[in-house]
Structure 1
Amino acid sequence: MSPTAPSPSPSRAGTIRSRWMALAVLSAAMLMTVLDGSIVTVAMPAIQQDLGFSPAGLSWTVNAYLIAFGGLLLLAGRLGDLIGRKTMFLAGNAVFTAASLLAGAATGPGMLIAARFLQGVGSAMASAVVLGILVTLFTEPRERAKAIGVFSFTGAAGASIGQVLGGVLTDAFSWHWIFFINLPIGLATIALAIRVVPGERGAGLSAGADAVGALLVTSGLMLGIYTVVKIEEYGWLAAHTLGLGAVSLLLLAAFFGRQATARTPLMPLRILRSRNVSGANVVQMLTLSAMFAFQIIVALYMQKVLGYGALETGLAMLPAAVAIGGVSLFVSARLNTRFGERAVLMAGLLLLLGAMVWLLRIPVNADYVTDLLPVMVLIAGGGLVLPALTSLGMSGARADDAGLASGLFNTTQQIGMAIGVAVLSTLAASRTQELLARGGDEAAALTSGYRLAFGIAAALLVAAFAVAVAVLRQPRPDTADAAIR
């Protein structure tokens, strides 16, 4: 009888099983957050009709969530390090679940907007510490790569599921159920997290209770995100944009000045001295700004130029979701382990760049198979980029900074998406309006505007690749593990 490898001991097997159960709970919470971001957009016409929103007021069902979520991530991440990341995760899920009940029961615009803001608060509290918990759970490089791949798959799948689920719930029941569905998920997540997510003692509020710094960074980020999401309404050079943008930058500059001198800084600046932490965040911001061109503008092109319906557009985009999710779940971990995250990141960025370059040639009357399907295949590069960036961005964090690094990573993610919305959609619309004013055909003018957006997205990806080459370094397993333990 040939010798076989020894079976893991019962205690070891139990430890492995509990870690993966904890990952499932963390992923479920992340899925709920991602679903909430995409599920609302599908139901917005029904919400407007039922609650009597004005067109401008309706946008606040999204903006209120984004401002709270993006503005509080950094603060929530640091507080997680101080009071315990499990405590912050549980509190965030409780706030989000309660806010979902309030949103589902909303009887007027003000009540729904307030509930959406509270949902953003809860999402920030829970999401900010998830990566910090994950990297402390999975310290062995191969295991961690698999865990990050599963986590990234959740994010990729959530957006697509949300669009389909939002339509089904709204048509079959009512828009109220896009929020009520969070109740059983949220309660189950809290109950399971209490049992399977390991707890740890935080450093204590005295280690970083910088109230002034918290006020500066939260107000600066919230004001900055508000300014960005309103650019399309006011314009780039309007007094509203320039004035509020300047105030936001001053608040953030004051925050960093405060952190350099505070006795107990909210964000110890040592975290930014890590090339991988700072570099990965910059690359992520540039990449996600560019990815907006695919996620939103391709869908707009299908509907406004090619005349696809909502269902046709969703089905046409499905191969991309499958490609990104499949690569992040089944391929990324193996490649990261074999070739290193830095090399895999660069390969993924080149695939995304290829997708944007391909989109530069889209005609007014595109054929899906030849003009769009190749893009759906190339966009699988996102399934390589996101797990690699996550690993690199967390590799330089110390154990007592893991929540802060997680919050910072999620913050730059939100800022990148907000900038993508503001820059690409505004410039595409300006190009289209310019051509229409000259008497151009509407479909041709729209296509030209979208091509401009794809060109800018390609330039952003080139910049992301340059930063990755110049700044990022492949972490040594022993160094990365020591930093996070």
Structure 2
Amino acid sequence: MDDSRRWWTLPVVSAAQLLVVLDGTIVNIALPSVQQALGMSDAGRHWVVTAYALAFGGLLLIGGRVSSALGHRRAFMIGLVGFAAASALAGAAAGPGMLFATRALQGGFAALLAPAGLSLLTTTFTESRERARAFGVFAAVGAAGSAVGLVLGGMLTEYTSWRWCLYINVPIALLALLGTTLVPRDRRAPSRDGRLDVPGAVLSCAAFVAVVYAFNQAEPLGWGSPIVLALLVVGVLLLVGFVAVERRVSHPLLPMRVLAHRVRAGAFVAITLMFAAMFGFYLFMSYYTQTVLGYSPVQSGLTLIINALAALVGSMFIAGRLHGRVPPAGLIVSGLIAAAAGVAIVTLLTPQSSHVLPLYLAPALVLTGLGLGCVMSPTASLATAGMPPQDIGAASASYNAAQQLGAALGTALFNTVATSAAAAHMATATRSAASVHGYTTALTVGAGILVVTACLTAVLITVRTTVHREMEKDAS
């Protein structure tokens, strides 16, 4: 394979990863402007974000299966074209219904694009050092994408129009598509088995939608709401049904061997709970800086640049350079502990705290960014290492689904805990003091989640390098 052409895979896949991750947050900052422009109700505005998240997460496993069937390069190109078209339609939306539908369409094409991109990266870079460099860049883009989305969303909304938060995807997708023409074709032929596990597809999509929608509804309704509890019960039952079906069908959508390996399962647990804690942290940064410190949306977003730069350093210059020298568990556990320390710093905030940015926020953003970068790179590598060619798409889709599930859980959990704690404190404190108490209580939970995750990861992912070497040997 032409080495120079092979390396085109990295920037092209990274651009697509930026699209997928960025689009999960860029619209958040613009949401008030979108609501006003299109006349949305307060009850319905969340569908701008929820429609994308549900379609993306619900269709990921199907996207991974389709990617294996079509060939990862071809599926990747289809995903880029579809994502660009859906983004253009969403930006031109004349009313709420059209915007909700096109956001769901964006999520559907993202569900094809994300696993196809990660699969291309996995099959292209198999040598240990190359793999470390490639996954370091990929993880850096993924870790920084959410922060970049908040910054870019604020700037585009403030200086142009909320519609450009969607139009911006079109040139990025077209540039990535142009770059894909230089990417070598798949080294292995696409799967000849065109059969789709229809029962598994329906059950997986319905289970994800039920669980994630329950998380979303927990924010306004509370975790004790009959609707939320019913959705959670239905989601769990659908998930049990999905596992039962996948164990019996001859061509499962998600072969259970993808999850059965202890090391791979540890990678999924680590990234799911890491995203749960980090998305809660990002929500804190948005609310605290704007409602307590009085930052503008742009200033609030720019503050997160510190986190994005730290994530870049963590993934490329720490995890990338130490790959193969330090056991994966060492990198992941260290990253989780660093992130926990960063989150713990902001739990020390009080309404009387001064010099908040240099003494609290900046150290927290640096530590959480370094931690996220050190976790994403090795978990992405472990999630797909050692998989047979026909299962790489499913493993890639599962890794992306784990991130989506963690993000949905973290946002809902943080908001619920913060709101409840603030309400309980309101009787004896000012509104500002109650808000700060709510934020710090929720962040304490987030720090606890990261510490527990570090302990689980240490157990699930062996500290010996031999297991990881065997997985990489199988992958190559």
Q: Return the TM-score normalized by structure 2.
A: 0.94
Q: Does 1:89 align with 2:76?
A: yes
Name the CA shift for 1:170/1:375 in 2 (closer, same or farther; >3 Å): closer
Match of 2:414 among 410, 413, 424: 424
Question: Is residue 440 of structure 2 the alignment partner of residue 451 of structure 1?
Answer: yes
Distance 1:478 1:349, change over 3 A: closer
Aligned pairs (5 A) from 1:26-41 = 26-41=13-28
Alignment-derived partner of residue 270 in structure 1: 257
Give the counterpart of 1:388 among 378, 381, 396.
378
How far 1:165 moved relative to its partner?
Answer: 2.4
Structure 2 residue 281 is the aligned partner of structure 1 residue 294: yes
Q: CA deviation at 1:476?
A: 4.5
Question: Does the 8 Å contact 1:288/1:417 carry over to 2?
Answer: yes
Q: Does 1:481 align with 2:472?
A: yes
1:118 to partner: Cα distance: 0.1
Instruction: Check the 8 A contact 1:399/1:483 in 2, yes or no.
Output: no
Query: How many angstroms apart in 1 are the aligned matches of 2:74 and 2:466?
Result: 30
1:462 to 438, 444, 451: 451
| CA shift for structure 1 position 205 | 3.3
For the residue of structure 2 that corresponds to 1:56, the secondary structure is coil
Give the match's secondary structure for 2:258.
helix
Q: Which residue identity is paired with 2:375?
A: V
Provide the secondary structure at the position in 2 that maps to 1:202: coil
Q: Residues 355 and 170 of structure 1: is their aligned pair in 2 closer, same or farther, counting only changes over 3 Å?
A: closer
CA 1:396–1:472 in 2, change beyond 3 Å: closer, same or farther? Answer: farther
Distance 1:395 1:191 in 2: 28
For 2:193 and 2:221, how far apart are their aligned partners in 1? 41
Q: CA contact under 8 A between 2:286 and 2:300: conserved in structure 1?
A: yes
Q: Is the 8 A contact 1:277 1:405 kept in 2?
A: no
Residues 145-224 of structure 1: pairs in structure 2 closer than 5 A: 145-199=132-186, 200-206=188-194, 209-224=196-211
Distance 1:192 1:278 in 2: 33
1:390 aligned partner, one-letter code: A
> What is the match of residue 231 of structure 2?
244
User: How many angstroms does 1:127 deviate by?
Assistant: 0.4
Distance 2:140 2:275 in 1: 16
Please name the residue that 2:423 is paired with.
433
Residue identity over aligned pairs, in percent, reads 36
Q: Is 1:79–1:88's contact at 8 Å kept on the other side of the alignment?
A: yes
Give the secondary structure class of the aligned counterpart of 1:276: helix
Greater mean alpha carbon deviation, residues 152-161 or residues 454-463? 152-161
Structure 1 residue identity aligned to 2:450: L
Contact in 1 for aligned 2:386/2:473 (Cα 8 Å): no
Deviation at 1:329, TM superposition (A): 2.3
Equivalent residue of 1:397, what SS? coil
* AA of the residue aligned to 1:452: T
Secondary structure class of the residue paired with 1:195: coil
Is 1:283 matched up with 2:270?
yes
Gaps of 5+ in 2: none
Between stretches 142-151 and 30-39, larger displacement belongs to: 30-39
Q: CA-to-partner distance for each residue in 1:440-465, whole Å, 9 max, x for gaps?
A: 21111111111111111111112211
CA contact (8 A) 1:43 1:167 kept: yes
Q: Deviations over 1:279-331 (max 9, x none)?
A: 11011111111112321113322222233332332333322221112221222
SS at match of 2:43: helix
Which amino acid is the alignment partner of residue 474 of structure 2?
A
Q: Which amino acid is 2:470 matched to?
A: T
CA distance in 1, matches of 2:319, 2:473: 23
- Corresponding residue number in structure 2 for 1:230: 217
Give yes or no for contact 2:76–2:113 (8 Å, CA) kept in 1.
yes
C-alpha separation in 1, matches of 2:414 and 2:30: 24
Are the aligned partners of 1:156 and 1:324 in contact in 2 as well (CA < 8 Å)?
yes
1:345 to 332, 336, 357: 332
Partner of 2:143, secondary structure, is: helix
Q: Aligned partners of 2:454 and 2:445: how far apart in 1? A: 14
Residue of structure 2 equivalent to 1:8: none
- Measure how far apart 1:91 and its partner are: 1.8
1:475 to partner: Cα distance: 5.1
Give the aligned partner of residue 38 of structure 2: 51
The answer as to whether partners of 1:32 and 1:182 remain within 8 angstroms in 2 is yes
Task: List per-residue Cα deviations over 1:248-287 (Å, max 9, x = no partner).
Answer: 1111111110111112222211122211221110111111
Q: Distance in 2 between matches of 1:475 and 1:394?
A: 17
Task: Structure 1: state its 5+ residue gaps.
Answer: 1-11
1:415-470 CA distance string (max 9 Å, x none): 0010001111101101101111x242111111111111111111111221111111
Q: Which one of 311, 315, 329 corresponds to residue 328 of structure 1? A: 315
Q: For residues 110 and 273 of structure 2, what CA distance do their matches in structure 1 show?
A: 23
Alpha carbons 1:392, 1:475 under 8 Å: kept: no
CA distance in 1: counterparts of 2:32 and 2:347, whole angstroms: 32
The letter for the 2-side match of 1:429 is T
Secondary structure of 1:425's partner?
Answer: helix
* CA 466–226 in structure 1, closer or farther in 2 if over 3 Å, else same: same
- C-alpha RMSD over aligned residues: 1.8
Decide whether the 8 Å contact of 1:141 with 1:477 is kept in 2: no
Match of 1:7 in 2: none
Q: Normalized against structure 1, the TM-score is what? A: 0.92
Match of 2:9 in 1: 22
- Tell me which residue corresponds to 2:395: 405
CA distance in 2, matches of 1:159, 1:184: 19
Q: Supply the distance in 2 between the matched residues of 1:188 and 1:170 (Cα, whole angstroms).
A: 23
TM alignment of 1:302-313, pairs within 5 A: 302-313=289-300
Shift of the 472–466 alpha-carbon distance from structure 1 to 2, 3 Å rule, reads same
Structure 2 residue corresponding to 1:471, chosen from 430, 453, 460: 460
1:123-162 → structure 2 map (5 Å cutoff):
123-162=110-149
Highest Rg: 1 or 2? 1
Q: What does residue 365 of structure 1 align with?
A: 352
Residue 405 of structure 1 aligns to which amino acid in structure 2?
A
> What's the offset of the Cα at 1:150?
0.6
Letter paired with 1:304 = T
Give the equivalent residue in structure 1 for 2:55. 68
